[in-house]
Amino acid sequence: FKIVMGDQEILKRMPVIYKYTDQVRGEIYQPLVIAPPVTATLTEKAFIFNGIEPKTISVQLKSFKDNASGTIKPSLPAGWKASSDNISFKLLKKGDEQLITFQVSPSANTSNGKLLLNVVIDGKTYNSGLRIIKYDHIPEQTLFPTAEAKLEKIDLKFAGKRIGYINGAGDLIPESLKQIGYDVSNLTESQVMNSDLSQFDAIVTGVRLYNVNEQIKVLQPKLMKYVENGGVLLVQYNVNSPLKIDDLGPYPFRLSRDRVTEEDAKVTILAPEDPAFNYPNQITTNDFNGWIQERGLYFVTDVDNRYTPLVSMNDTAEAANKGALIVSNYGKGKYVYTGISFFRQLPAGVPGAYRLFVNLLSQKK
């Protein structure tokens, strides 16, 4: 609105809000939301294809009006095919939701790209998803991101399929590994202690497990015995303080606050003959292209010489750091500690990150 004072005009912009009363929280103020008739929200940010086998795509529809009917028209890059070009829907009431599915498959020779969902209603086309951010300490935020996801066709070789996963503070690594064909079991503390871990080709710990899990002091000896007997344990990053235990691996190292925040920072492969870069996939520096947000964080320091540093990297004008990724043989198995931000790269569908992660999980028998 405008305020006019004499010959001066002041333009004032204010959000439109509405107020309602919650029986517990009292008066609640929320911004007015202007929504499309129907949103189409994809379940993943990226869909990874290893080969030409089709993959099922799930879409959650939500109506913001009564009697919303129309079609979903997937838009695909050249060389990709959807099982249906027009998917009909009908939502009777405002607020109704419906899950629809269709299949997408790549051809033998195709380029990567994006899947875009076009929602056609009453002759008009919309392509919005829905994301709601809701916390008690802030007003509810309703976002309508574009209804799209990356499509990546990756040539991946595997050595082992069964993965055990121990949750930390929360990440999407299990879902990402399932996308490329791994059989992933989420393990509770009881399952770690009481089951035969040799059934797993590798075990992965969630980010910050050693910061948040009160039982890790009891679990750690079992995990080390698993490695000693021939397993692969991959430990994702932890912050350097506070830690529930001091010894995260079979041999000593400390965690620093070092990180590399430039996602395109140069990466130097320090041990090109190591299996991490050769088995089962051949890794080159090109596999570090197209990464997002950062390279990694909370790198290791004061590393025992029985570990092998695999890469070095650094932000602009900083010294090269060898603490992003270390590996060691222990008994018959392999221990990996990584500060590399795989928890960001895999859900984002970064091909090189997938290839390297698969290699780290793999071991020649």
pLDDT tens digits, one per residue of 205-263: 999 999 999 999 999 999 999 999 999 999 999 999 999 999 999 999 999 999 999 99
Q: Is 202 helix (H, G, I), strand (E, B) or coil?
A: strand
- Low-confidence residues of the chain, pLDDT below 50? none
**With the CA atoms of 120, 121, 123 and 129 taken in that order, what torsion angle do they form, in degrees rounded to the nearest 10?**
-50
Q: What is the pLDDT of residue 55?
A: 94
pTM of full prediction above 0.75: yes
The answer to whether 325 and 273 have CB atoms below 8 angstroms apart is: no
Asked if the domains at 38-153 and 162-361 fall in one CATH topology, the answer is no
Task: Please count the other Cβ atoms lying within 10 Å of the Cβ belonging to residue 5.
Answer: 7
Q: What is the DSSP string of 247-276?
A: --SSS--EE-S-EE--TT--EEES-TTSGG
The answer to whether 322 and 222 have CB atoms below 8 angstroms apart is: no
Q: What is the pLDDT of residue 345?
A: 97
Architecture per CATH, domain 38-153, reads as Sandwich (2.60)
Q: What is the pLDDT of residue 252?
A: 98
Give the sign of the dihedral formed by CA 270, CA 273, CA 274, CA 275: positive
Domain boundaries, given as residue ranges, for the chain? 38-153, 162-361
Q: What is the pLDDT of residue 2?
A: 85
For residue 287, give the DSSP letter. G
Architecture per CATH, domain 162-361, reads as 3-Layer(aba) Sandwich (3.40)
CA distances from 16 to 26, 62, 118, 176 (A): 20, 23, 29, 40
Classify each residue of 180-205 as buried b or exposed e, where b means 16 or more C-beta atoms within 10 Å of its C-beta: bebebeebebeebeeeebeebbbbbb
